[in-house]
Structure 1
Amino acid sequence: MKSPCPRFLCCSWRVTSSGFPNVYRPKFISAELSTAASAGLICQGERGTRFRLVRPLGTPARDKASNVWLAIDESRPDAEYIIKLPPGDNNDSPWSNTALAALKHELEMQRLFAKDPMIRRLVDYVPESEPVGPMMVLEAFTDSLWDARNARPFTAKEIKWIMKGVLLGIYTVHMRGLVYTDLKMENVVLGGFDSSKPSENFRDLIVRLADCGSISKPSTREITSLTYRSPEVHFGKSWTSSTDVWSWGIILAQLFQAQVDFRSAGIYDSIQSKSLEEKRDTIRGQLAIDFDLSSLPFYAEDKQCARILPTPQPERAYMWANNMVEKGVPGNDIHFLVEVLPPDPNARLTVREILESGYLDG
């Protein structure tokens, strides 16, 4: 017999499930496909809708073509969508098998979570037989959480509402034994956000997880953007769903910081280095000091971790929390953050425990 639906899901946020047997597995015929997406290009989805590409979105990496586009329904120009292609080089060369496999995995995850309301909806799929196919057609939102964070400070109620929505999105993933692995502000989208002033009803804000491409089973491989990467990942240990809770806690900390010091970068976002490797090492070392990892057997008694742990500085442990209190973040919010962010993943709260704590309902 199935266990009853948790209390925190018996509401407008309610999460539903779709079964693994229904996962759509698209047929990718080859990698010999053009990557030359361009404005004005028209392609047809499996449902018969014709989509026109309008402009590329985001900032692609050097020598890479943008694989995310704004598109419109050709018969209804006011209906906007997001088109996502396999990542490709900045030329007309075929996509690599790796790029096609990445899109295939993301499409499978979108299909798997098709009935879960906290995941951005897959609207249609453009097959590889179409110009510049394959493509995913996704629901469009006005802002990412990153955009909104940089527009104005959130109210306390907005923060809790948004972070509850994010947590429910993660919970739908964890319910299937999977891990989101790339939780960051850029991968959370909002609808109904007013950049000029808080909404009269914060519950009007729509919150969705926007990228399913990194969802996977627990593992030991390197995951997550550096700023939001959990200590166990930084130090090469195995990770589970608790790594998502760490990333969630870092986002929450950054939103609290923006409330009291809007123009300053959030925790671990201010670290600048010449290379990605240098930034990784700098953040890893700072995190080890901030959370006093040398005092924890989980890290200190692991030979691999011990080799890269910096010299202990216990007097600096949790200074980040003290600094937030001094700037005006309420003590109860700091206390909650400390509970969410224990560096030992075995001591970390689960998503369900956070939701049932009632903190996000206050």
Structure 2
Amino acid sequence: MSQSHQLHAGQTLTGDSNKDYLLVAPLGQPNVWTAVDSETQSSVFIIKQPASDDSAAASWPNFQQEMVMQELFKDDPAIRQKVDQIPPSKYGEPPRIVLEILEGTVWDARAKRPLSVREIKSIMRDTLEGLVCVHEKGLVYADLKMENILVSGFNPLSEDKDGDTLVTKLGDLGIVMPPTQGVVQPLTYRAPEVYFKHSITPAADIWSWGLLVCHLLEARSNMPAPVLVSAPANTHLAPPPSNAPPSLQTSNSTDSATSISNPPTPSPNGTNFTDRGLYDDLYSGHGLRSQQEQSIRYALANDYDLTSIPYYADCTLPARDREHPTGRQWHFLKEKGVQEDDVAFLKWVMDPDPTSRPTAQEVLESAWLKESEKEVVKEKGDVETVKNEEEAETSKSHKRRLSTYLDYGVGAVRRAVGVERG
């Protein structure tokens, strides 16, 4: 990206709607900025332009893909919406998109305190609704992680919120794709069929979703179970298929890896909870990416005894460790304090065979998620049944009708642009 095309504070951009947007500050990346309505300095938005490694000579293909996806999902309330777009200029400036803003991500919320079970179910149910939208169009989200789940209404000081005030949406549509062959997903949330067969289908999103639920439940625990994992040198990754897109290729590695899960991190309110979870606790942060990858491959192959599952019969798998009992991961979760019914639910969702794994719609209709729609938890711990399904639907619809463009932090934004009024 040319230096002259970099975004900067105080810059004004005009969208197709003829609305002017005043840039305020970068949001973690140089190509993603917060902005306000230039006229009112009230409503807050996100302005995003192509990343520096996107090819301008090829008309920014990655960014164009994201713009196409934003248009495709423009009417889906479970997905962060495009508000406006800013066309490329005759001077070579790239296109930009204007996105609605939410208060934070699930990653931010989890770092502040453990979430209540009802909060977890509310957030992950809404995330699942976003996945249903993606899968119904025959696509794979392919990048599900806490940083890509956007949340508003989270109170870091209240541990017993029932989740009714939360608004959750999927963000970042940059690599949404049709089913294909290759390697995608963050290492921790990568499905076993992607590791060993390079098969990218909607089922891989469900695996990631299940692991996210698992990590949020683990974060409620104050009894971490450190795990020592040694990945033998023969846990090499088979090469991706020859027809895989270049962006999905990955390198082979034959390094060995040994790591121990990190100790629990104290939360701001004094409650200890684990900041790492299943398959994220195999990496101390000091080794190579290939070492983390091998450790996860080794753990998956042994936790699920993939050698015994016909789906993986044609795969090159790590050698079976006879001292590593099948299902050890579920035992560790119970030791950490995850409830029996939660573990049973995770077993169902995280079926290692993607052809047997439930669909997003099936998970959405599961009793584990629906029970949180039918009960309201009182402050004293009592539970009362919602009068009928109609009331539950009314409450859900009300949450969906909340303002699309959340005007949080307006005072801070005004001060940043020097327009705070007394």
TM-score, with length taken from structure 1:
0.83
Deviation at residue 347 of structure 1 after TM alignment: 1.2
Measured in 2, the distance between the counterparts of 1:193 and 1:313 equals 45
One-letter code aligned to 2:80: R
Q: Which runs of 5+ in 1 are unaligned?
A: 1-30, 61-65
Name the counterpart of 1:123. Answer: 83
Equivalent position to 2:36, from 72, 90, 93: 72
The amino acid that maps onto 1:274 is G
How do residues 9-28 of structure 1 correspond to structure 2 at under 5 angstroms?
none
Structure 2 vs 1, CA of residues 281 and 41 (structure 1 numbering), >3 Å: closer, same or farther?
same
Establish whether residue 349 from structure 1 lines up as the match of residue 358 from structure 2.
Answer: yes
Whole-angstrom distance in 2 between the partners of 1:342 and 1:314: 22
- Contact 2:218 2:274 (8 Å CA) reproduced: no
- Deviating more after overlay: 241-250 vs 189-198: 189-198
Distance 2:108 2:309 in 1: 37
Q: Quote the offset at 1:144 in angstroms.
A: 0.4
State the partner residue of 1:220. 181
* Secondary structure at 2:363 match in 1: helix
TM-aligned CA distance change 1:269 to 1:98, over 3 Å: farther
2:420 matched residue in structure 1: none
Please name the residue that 1:46 is paired with.
16
Matches within 5 A, 1:142-153: 142-153=103-114
- Does the Cα contact within 8 Å between 2:151 and 2:166 map onto a contact in 1? yes
* Counterpart Cα distance in 1 of 2:157 and 2:306: 41
Pair 1:109-2:120 in alignment:
no
Q: Which residue identity does 1:339 align to in structure 2?
A: W
1:153 Cα shift? 0.8
Task: Tell me the residue number matched to 1:318.
Answer: 327
Pairing 1:1-362 to 2, within 5 Å after superposition: 34-58=4-28, 60=29, 66-88=30-52, 95-97=55-57, 100-129=60-89, 132-198=93-159, 200-261=161-222, 262-270=273-281, 271=283, 272=285, 274-299=287-312, 301-302=313-314, 305-306=315-316, 308-313=317-322, 315-362=324-371
- Quick check: 1:47–1:124 contact (8 Å CA) kept in 2? yes
Residues 35/274 of structure 1: CA separation in 2 closer, same or farther (3 Å cut):
farther
Counterpart residue identity of residue 79, structure 2:
I
Q: Report SS of the residue matched to 2:41.
A: strand
Change (3 A) 1:48 1:192: same
From the superposition, tell whether residues 98 and 293 of structure 1 become closer, same or farther in structure 2 (CA, over 3 Å): farther
The answer as to whether partners of 1:289 and 1:314 remain within 8 angstroms in 2 is no
Query: Aligned partners of 2:275, 2:161: CA distance in 1, in Å?
Result: 27
**Quick one: structure 1 residues 76 and 130, their matched pair in 2 at CA, closer, same or farther if it must change by over 3 Å?**
farther
Q: Which amino acid aligns with 1:269?
A: D
Alignment RMSD, CA only? 2.1
Instruction: Identify which range, 265-274 or 236-245, moves more after superposition.
Output: 265-274
Q: Give the distance between the partners of 1:233 and 1:79, measured in 2 at CA.
A: 41
Check 1:224–1:216 CA distance in 2 against 1; reply closer, same or farther (3 A cut).
same
Residues paired across the two proteins, number: 318
Offset from partner CA, 1:107-144 (integer Å, 9 cap, x none): 11111110111000101101111884311110011110
Q: Give the % identical residues.
A: 37
Aligned partners of 2:210 and 2:89: how far apart in 1?
43
Q: Which has the larger radius of gyration?
A: 2
Query: Per-residue deviation at 1:323?
Result: 1.3
2:197 is paired with a residue whose SS is coil
Cα pair distance change 1:331/1:175, threshold 3 Å: same
Residue of structure 2 in register with 1:12 after alignment: none
Q: CA deviation at 1:201?
A: 4.6
SS of structure 2 residue aligned to 1:207: strand
How big is the shift at 1:341?
0.5
| Pair 110,313 (structure 1): closer, same or farther in 2 beyond 3 Å | farther
What are the Cα deviations for residues 268-306 of structure 1, in whole angstroms up to 9, with x where unaligned? 22313533223222222222222221222222x21xx22
Q: Which moved more, 1:212-221 or 1:33-42?
A: 33-42
C-alpha change, 1:281 and 1:122, in structure 2 (3 Å) is same
Distance 1:44 1:280, change over 3 A: same
How far off its partner does 1:218 sit?
0.3
**Normalized against structure 2, the TM-score is what?**
0.71
Q: Counterpart of 1:40 in 2: which secondary structure?
A: coil
